[in-house]
Amino acid sequence: MIASITRINELAKKAREAGLTPAEKVEQQVLREDYLREIRGQIENTVTSLKVLDPLGNDVTPDKVKNEKEMRKQ
């Protein structure tokens, strides 16, 4: 699990209940951006590790995915 999610949830709860200070709002935004970056990275890793096969068993993985996979190997 992503470590910052606990703090993100704490700030969200505080925002609903009492409001956030300007510093906490900045912290919340930074944490959210980091969280989204991490999630996007995980999705990208998942997609680039896929291999698409047609019903006959031929590799029909899009060239863009193949190229990205090769770039990551280097």
CB 5 within 8 A of CB 41: no
Handedness of CA 35, 6, 31, 28 (dihedral sign): positive
pTM above 0.75, yes or no: no
Domain count across the chain: 1
Three-point CA angle 29, 21, 38, nearest 5°: 15
* Three-state DSSP class for residue 38: helix
**Residue 74 pLDDT greater than 80, yes or no:** no
Domain of residue 25: give its range: 5-73
- pLDDT tens for 30-45 read 999 999 999 999 998 8
pLDDT of 1 above 70: no
Which helix (H) or strand (E) covers residue 69, if one does? helix 63-73
What distance in Å separates the CA atoms of residue 63 and residue 50, rounded to the nearest whole number?
A: 12
Residue type, 10: E
pLDDT of residue 48: 87
